[in-house]
């Protein structure tokens, strides 16, 4: 199933976020953990699945392939998709203010 | 050198969680997964260990180095593959991170397999339906299924199509299971890596062997039939064959053979042998003669009587009665079928006769032997019946001793 601009899975979102800087498999997992401040520990299977799917969808590309180590980076489309998703998440947060206000009363 | 122990491979390969759990339990007994074959799973004997196993599904039948590397960097060692399934293992104490942390993402890994299974299922169902359609036409279109069964030409294909039919059922199970696993993952239900496997995994494990056995045995049938099938020129004298002979019927010293040789066999005076599981001894015969100086009564030409017959020795006597019906149906015109007369005979179990001018048709049963005879000529039908009774008697006795 190719990406059609709808809500992203958490895994997709964080991989795109981490690939703002080109990176390869194992290190990518660690930078995802870093970016999410330890909240998200992504398994290698999930990462591999997300990478190959997003590569097919053109959200990321292979930047360097020296034999076994493959370095990926985000594409223009990927970055755009990430920003669209970020805006969507932001409005989610905005809309959720009701909750905070409810707490204040 | 460590010893390899083989176990029958569970046929329900789509039960991923059960397999992972099974491999873990085997490792606890010191049997560590080594290889997955078509019929057997190979385990290497060693020290009992607590090992976690994970089965990965890929889009292609092979797995990329990149994927293996990424898993191995995370403490999951690649063990073996079988088609779209790949097994990784990790010592429980090493606490390797879980391979799939997002069930919905894991659902994507089943997408391709799910599609392949569905496409294969549809293609196979169509092929099997076509095959069964053609076979049913052969069995039933003439309305003589017992004759077809006894002749035995399409038994092997029929057994094979039943096996294929089971395979379609098996593929439906696989397709449905993978689809529902995909759905569960999509809904966030992760695979239970310690699912109980004892009852679910091995219940049908023996079936592939059974399946292969039947396929093998049924493959012998046509070979056996080919060995037993042959055609010979009828000997001039009796030859000890259970065949009603033209000379005995005509009793005319002027009768001569009307020969028609192809490849050293006189096809106008021949007998063919055949074999099937339901009729291990079968003969089909033709014999034709000519009496110089005598004419058919309607002056159409020289008198040339002929006799054709089919003889079956059945495995089961129960087939005799339906075979009689089928032989009549197969060898007669529609309007003739009802004009057969049933006659009580001193030695035959069953006797049906149809006589119309110079054509006489007889179907007789004695024990497990069924004989059909068609005669064109002026000899008396009672004389023909006695010859049939005598030959069938000799044959039935010979086969009984």
For residue A40, the chain B residue with the least C-alpha distance is B101
The two tokens of residue B255 are 């009768």
Average pLDDT over residues B115-122: 96
**From A34-43, B38-47, B220-229, the region with the lowest mean pLDDT:** A34-43
Where does the pLDDT of residue B1 fall: very low under 50, low under 70, confident under 90, or very high at 90 and above?
A: low
Nearest chain A Cα distance for residue B12, angstroms:
24
pLDDT at A103: 73
Q: Does residue B288 have a pLDDT over 50?
A: yes
Contact B102 A10 (CB under 8 A): yes
Domains of chain B: 229-400 (3.40.1000)
Contact B69 A68 (CB under 8 A): yes
Q: Which of residues 65-104 of A touch B (CB under 8 A)?
A: 68, 70
Q: Does residue A98 have a pLDDT over 80?
A: yes
**From A54-68, B262-276, B277-291, B331-345, the region with the lowest mean pLDDT:** A54-68
Interior angle at CA A63, CA B98 and CA B108, nearest 5: 40
Contact A42 B102 (CB under 8 A): yes
Chain A residues within an 8 Å CB radius of B65 = 68
Residue in B100, B106, B191 to test binding to A, most A beta-carbons within 10 Å: B100
Per-range mean pLDDT, top range of A60-74, B110-124, B192-206 = B110-124
Where does the pLDDT of residue B400 fall: very low under 50, low under 70, confident under 90, or very high at 90 and above?
A: low
For B52, how many CA atoms within 13 A lie in the half-sphere containing its CB?
A: 16
Convert B24-57 to b/e letters by CB count within 10 Å (16 or more is b).
bbbbeeebbbbbbeeeebbbeeeeeeebbbbbbb
CATH number for domain A10-104, candidates 3.40.30.10, 1.10.760.10, 2.60.40.1930, 1.10.10.10: 1.10.10.10
pLDDT at B53: 97
Chain A residues within an 8 Å CB radius of B71 = 44-45, 48
Query: What is the Cα–Cα distance from A88 to A97, expressed in whole angstroms?
Result: 15
Strand ranges in B292-349 using DSSP code E only, listed in sequence order: 306-313, 341-342
Average pLDDT over residues A15-43: 88
Average pLDDT over residues B163-178: 94
Q: Map tokens 């005879």 to a residue.
A: B373
pLDDT at B401: 58
pLDDT at A100: 81
- Interstrand relation of B4-8 and B77-82 (parallel, antiparallel or unpaired): unpaired
Interior angle at CA B240, CA B235 and CA B242, nearest 5: 95
For B333, how many CA atoms within 13 A lie in the half-sphere containing its CB?
A: 5
Query: What is the Cα–Cα distance from B220 to B210, expressed in whole angstroms?
Result: 16
Q: Does residue A1 have a pLDDT over 60?
A: no
In SS3 terms, B161-203 reads as HHHHHHHHHHHHHHHHHHHHHHHHHHCCCCCCCCCCCHHHHCC
On average, the pLDDT of chain A sits at: 87
Q: Map tokens 């460590």 to a residue.
A: B2
Nearest chain A Cα distance for residue B25, angstroms:
23
For residue B186, the chain A residue with the least C-alpha distance is A9
For residues B282 and B273, is the Cβ–Cβ distance under 8 A?
A: yes
A45 close to B (CB below 8 A): yes
DSSP structure string for B42-99: EEEE-----EEEEEEE-SSSS--HHHHHHHHHTT-EEEEEETTEEEEEEEGGG-PPPS
Average pLDDT over residues A76-92: 94
Domain residue ranges in chain A: 10-104
**Which tens digit of pLDDT belongs to each residue from B17-34?**
999 999 999 999 999 999
Q: Does residue B269 have a pLDDT over 80?
A: yes
Chain B residues within an 8 Å CB radius of A29 = 74
Q: Residue A56 is inside which H or E element, if any? A: helix A44-56
Query: What is the Cα–Cα distance from B216 to B214, expressed in whole angstroms?
Result: 5
Average pLDDT over residues A60-79: 87
A36 close to B (CB below 8 A): no
Average pLDDT over residues A58-81: 88
**Which tens digit of pLDDT belongs to each residue from B187-229?**
999 999 999 998 888 777 778 888 889 989 899 999 999 999 9
**From A14-28, B32-46, B222-236, B245-259, the region with the lowest mean pLDDT:** A14-28
A22 close to B (CB below 8 A): no
- 3-state secondary structure (DSSP) of residue B155: helix
Higher pLDDT, B60 or B33: B33
A32 close to B (CB below 8 A): no
Q: How many CB atoms lie within 10 A of CB B358?
A: 15
């Amino acid at each position: 199933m190719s990406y059609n601009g709808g809500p992203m899975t958490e895994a997709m979102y964080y991989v795109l976020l981490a690939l703002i800087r080109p990176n390869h498999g194992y290190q990518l997992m660690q930078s995802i953990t870093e970016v999410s401040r330890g909240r998200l520990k992504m398994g290698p299977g999930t990462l591999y699945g997300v990478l190959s799917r997003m590569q097919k969808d053109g959200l990321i590309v292979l930047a360097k392939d020296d034999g076994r180590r493959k370095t990926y980076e985000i594409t223009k489309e990927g970055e755009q998709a990430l920003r669209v998703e970020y805006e969507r998440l932001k409005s989610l947060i905005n809309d959720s203010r009701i909750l905070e206000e409810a707490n204040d009363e | 050198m460590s010893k390899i122990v083989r176990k029958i491979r569970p046929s329900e390969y789509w039960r991923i969680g059960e397999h992972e759990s099974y491999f873990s339990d085997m490792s606890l007994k010191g049997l560590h997964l080594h290889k997955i074959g078509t019929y057997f799973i190979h385990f290497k004997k060693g020290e009992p260990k607590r090992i976690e196993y994970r089965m990965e599904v890929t889009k292609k039948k092979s797995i990329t180095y990149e994927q293996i590397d990424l898993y191995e960097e995370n403490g999951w060692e690649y063990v073996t593959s079988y088609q779209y399934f790949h097994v990784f293992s990790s010592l429980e104490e090493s606490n390797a991170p879980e391979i799939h942390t997002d069930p919905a993402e894991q659902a994507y890994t089943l997408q391709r397999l799910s599609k392949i299974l569905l496409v294969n299922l549809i293609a196979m169902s169509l092929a099997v339906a076509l095959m069964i359609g053609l076979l049913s036409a052969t069995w039933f279109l003439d309305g003589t299924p017992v004759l077809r069964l006894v002749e035995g030409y399409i038994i092997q294909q029929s057994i094979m199509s039943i096996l294929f039919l089971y395979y379609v059922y098996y593929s439906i199970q696989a397709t449905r299971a993978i689809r529902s696993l995909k759905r569960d993952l999509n809904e966030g239900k992760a695979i239970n890596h310690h699912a109980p496997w004892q009852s679910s995994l091995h219940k049908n494990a023996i079936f592939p062997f059974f399946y292969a056995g039947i396929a093998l045995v049924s493959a012998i049938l046509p070979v056996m039939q080919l060995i037993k099938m042959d055609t010979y020129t009828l000997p001039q004298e009796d030859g000890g064959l259970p065949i009603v002979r033209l000379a005995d019927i005509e009793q005319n010293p002027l009768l001569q053979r009307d020969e028609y040789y192809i490849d050293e066999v006189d096809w106008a005076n021949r007998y063919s042998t055949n074999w099937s599981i339901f009729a291990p001894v079968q003969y089909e015969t033709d014999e034709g003669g000519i009496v110089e100086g005598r004419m058919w009564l309607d002056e159409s030409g020289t008198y040339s009587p002929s006799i054709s017959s089919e003889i079956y020795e059945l495995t089961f006597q129960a087939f005799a009665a339906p075979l009689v019906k089928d032989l009549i149906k197969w060898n007669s015109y529609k309007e003739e079928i009802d004009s057969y007369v049933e006659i009580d005979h001193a030695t035959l179990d069953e006797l049906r006769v149809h006589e119309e001018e110079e054509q006489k048709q007889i179907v007789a049963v004695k024990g497990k032997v069924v004989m059909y005879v068609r005669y064109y000529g002026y000899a008396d039908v009672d004389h023909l019946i006695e010859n049939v009774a005598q030959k069938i008697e000799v044959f039935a006795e010979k086969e009984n001793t």
